[in-house]
Homo-oligomer: A and B are copies of this chain.
């Protein structure tokens, strides 16, 4: 009785297997980084042989790009839902910052940093990064535009305002691997919110209201 590694083959539909692989790679990307997505690593994760990963992704680079897109895309949906029901733009933006400035966002910051650097060498990843950058920008711009229409925000150029907010968010995200997110002055940690309140003509504290649920 070969107790170790029964080696029972489990045969799945291509679609299911592929999704499973992307999900595993996405999890590895978030927790350990994109360079840890290797044939052997993902195969081990799913208890299959490395060759199987190669079968679905003949070039690993494509799996890396897919994993990145999956993780970052899911986060965007959680952060800024495509269809905003119920709450006001201000409420949505407050929720956005509540999540995007907390330590729970660190893994995402690391992933962005990771992808932006690695895309220097990986064309497939570079394209995905461009797509996600546009998606994040558009989603935020659209929220701002709604806020302006509803008279909650005031800005000349919603797109520039959106970019400005994201730039500050990215700038702080750059520090995620160096210092503890906790130990810089509050004025610095609140920089994205301050920026947003200023650029959108909001009162100070308008985006930190406690009722962000």
Taking Cβ atoms with an 8 Å cutoff, the residues of A that contact B are: 33, 110, 112-114, 116-121, 126, 129-130, 133, 157, 159-160, 163-164, 166-175, 177-179, 184-185, 187-188, 191
Residue among B160, B177, B185, B191 making CB contact with A117, cutoff 8 Å = B177
Copies, count: 2
- Nearest B-chain residue to A125, judged by Cβ: B177
A171 in contact with B178 given A117-B117, A120-B33, A187-B160 (CB within 8 Å): no
Residue among B119, B166, B167, B173 making CB contact with A178, cutoff 8 Å = B119
- Nearest B-chain residue to A161, judged by Cβ: B187
In the bound complex, residues from chain B placing their C-beta under 8 Å from that of A191 are: 164, 167
* Interface majority SS (helix, strand, loop, mixed), chain A: helix
In the bound complex, residues from chain B placing their C-beta under 8 Å from that of A118 are: 117
Instruction: Looking at the assembled complex, report how far the CB atom of A175 sits from the nearest CB atom of chain B, in whole angstroms.
Output: 8
In the bound complex, residues from chain B placing their C-beta under 8 Å from that of A188 are: 160, 163-164, 167
The answer on a CB contact under 8 Å between A178 and B133 is: yes
The answer on a CB contact under 8 Å between B33 and A174 is: no
